């Protein structure tokens, strides 16, 4: 097994799928000559040429739409948003075209496309560049939404996303591109729609995804020191949600916390809570809590930004709260 960074795992997934399937191409700002703003596409232009690794002007609606239109013709575009913050200007294309064209055309056309790029806060980028977009996309029927936290998951899920016949929103994280981990040398894929238990435990279920996975694992470590065994479930796919995996854990632990990068109101965190309380009501010994961003636009100042983010310490406090401990 090789030890790869997430950025390499993502690049390898794209490379392998491009080798495997002539219809796959990569398009976005600076993905080619610049090798990607975060170097996820390093070397791909050189390997595949400008026909299949396509630099675009700064027109997110334009190239998101081009990807959709190309997918309707049978191609399999990977559209990189330099960050998902910039997908806001392409929102209508994703909401009204990518998600609906199969339905709207009664199946005459499909949109096998992947929109990928870094999501949520990085470090001191200010309010316009520090937003988590899964609440917007996971809400929409017709899309799949994936968020990855390890090189292994990144590669296996991105390959599945590229092969998927549906539009997939694929969320990475700028600060995690250098995270390293083992990746099998042989080919593999990971099914979309399956959560992963990243750590087993029996006292509290900690549900998490994306950039919050390492925070959750650290939360579990802190808790372990106090004798609390936290089970960490990495959702990996946010739409469709792996409700079975969530319920199985909560029925064991009877307590749950949702820990994520993003604003609190609505979104994936609340969806998880709503399902747990509906489907495991009699198993719950405490309310399900969420630990996430503060409900504010992100400040640039380092100290303030830090205060707005979820941390292992805050995670631990929530874990103890659902255990009614102090």
Partner 1 sequence: MTASTATSEAAATTTAEHAAAEIAAQFKGQSKDDTLRDYLAMLRIRRFEESAARAYTRGKISGFLHLYIGQEAIAVATKQAIAAHDRVVSAYRTHGFALALGSDIKACAAELFGKAAGLVGGMGGSMHFFDKAHQLWGGYAIVGNHIPVATGHAFASKYTGDGAVTLVFMGDGAVGIGPVHEGMTLAGVWKLPIVFVVENNQYSMGTPLKRSVPVEDITARAAGYGFHSDRFHVTSVHETRARIAAAVDRARADNQPSLLELITYRFRGHSMSDPAKYRQKEEVDTWRLQDPLERTLLALQQLHGLDEATLEQHDAKIIAEVDAAYEFAEATPQPPPEARFENILVGE
Ligand X SMILES: Cc1ncc(C[n+]2csc(CCOP(=O)(O)OP(=O)(O)O)c2C)c(N)n1
Nearer to partner 1, 244 or 302 (CB): 302
* Active-site position among 60, 172, 174, 231: 60
Question: Hey, CA dihedral for 100, 102, 105, 106, is it positive or negative?
Answer: negative
Q: Alpha-carbon distance 168 to 111, whole Å?
A: 9
Applying CB under 8 A, among 1, 96, 200, 304 the residue interacting with a copy of itself is: 96
Q: Is 126 in the site for a copy of itself (CB under 8 A)?
A: yes
Span between the terminal Cα atoms of the chain, in Å: 43
Nearer to partner 1, 73 or 185 (CB): 73
Applying CB under 8 A, among 2, 3, 59, 104 the residue interacting with a copy of itself is: 104
Q: Give the closest residue to 25 by CA, choosing from 78, 98, 82.
A: 78
Q: Is 100 in the site for a copy of itself (CB under 8 A)?
A: yes
* Active-site position among 30, 42, 129, 294: 129
Spell out a b/e string for 28-47, using b for 16 or more CB atoms within 10 Å of the CB, else e.
bbbbbeebbbbbbbeebbee
Q: Which stretch binds partner 1 (CB under 8 A): 40-48, 141-149, 253-261, 267-275?
A: 141-149
Which residues lie near ligand X (CB under 6 A)? 29, 58, 60, 82, 86, 89
Alpha helices in the chain, H assignment, sequence order = 6-20, 44-48, 60-72, 91-92, 101-104, 134-138, 151-163, 213-225, 243-253, 267-279, 302-308, 312-322
Q: Is 234 in the site for partner 1 (CB under 8 A)?
A: no
Q: Alpha-carbon distance 17 to 160, whole Å?
A: 10
Per-residue binding string, a copy of itself, 172-211, x by CB under 8 A, is: ----------------------------------------
- Which 8-state DSSP code applies to residue 43? T
| Catalytic residue set | 60, 129
Interface ranges with a copy of itself (CB under 8 A): 61, 85, 88-89, 91-92, 95-96, 99-100, 103-104, 126-128, 131, 135-136, 138-142, 239, 263, 265-271, 273-274, 277-279, 281, 284, 286-290, 295-297, 299
């Amino acid at each position: 097994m090789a030890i790869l960074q997430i950025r390499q795992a993502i690049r390898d997934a794209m490379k392998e799928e491009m080798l495997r399937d002539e219809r796959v191409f990569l398009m976005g700002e600076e993905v080619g000559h610049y090798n990607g703003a975060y170097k996820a596409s390093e070397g791909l232009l050189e390997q595949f040429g400008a026909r299949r690794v396509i630099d675009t002007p700064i027109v997110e609606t334009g190239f998101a739409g081009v990807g959709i239109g190309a997918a309707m013709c049978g191609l399999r575009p990977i559209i990189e948003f330099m960050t998902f913050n910039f997908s806001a200007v392409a929102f209508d294309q994703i909401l009204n075209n990518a998600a609906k064209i199969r339905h709207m055309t009664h199946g005459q056309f499909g949109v096998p496309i992947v929109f990928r790029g870094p999501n949520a806060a990085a470090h001191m980028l200010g309010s316009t560049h520090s937003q988590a977009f899964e609440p917007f996309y996971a809400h929409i029927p017709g899309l799949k939404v994936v968020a990855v936290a390890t090189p292994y998951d990144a590669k296996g899920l991105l390959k599945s996303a590229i092969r998927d016949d549906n539009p997939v929103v694929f969320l990475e994280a700028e600060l995690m591109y250098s995270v390293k981990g083992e990746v099998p040398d042989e080919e593999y894929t990971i099914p979309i729609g399956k959560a992963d238990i990243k750590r087993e435990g029996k006292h509290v279920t900690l549900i998490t995804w994306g950039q919050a996975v390492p925070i959750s694992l650290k939360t579990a470590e802190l808790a372990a020191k106090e004798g609390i065994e936290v089970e960490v479930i990495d959702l990996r796919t946010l739409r469709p949600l792996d409700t079975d995996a969530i319920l199985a854990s909560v029925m064991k632990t009877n307590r749950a916390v949702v820990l994520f990068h993003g604003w609190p109101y609505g979104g994936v965190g609340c969806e998880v809570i709503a399902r747990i309380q509906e489907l495991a009501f009699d198993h719950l010994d405490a309310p399900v809590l969420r630990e996430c961003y503060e409900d504010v636009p992100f400040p640039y100042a380092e100290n303030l930004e830090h205060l707005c983010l979820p941390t292992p310490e805050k995670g631990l406090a929530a874990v103890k709260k659902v255990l009614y401990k102090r």
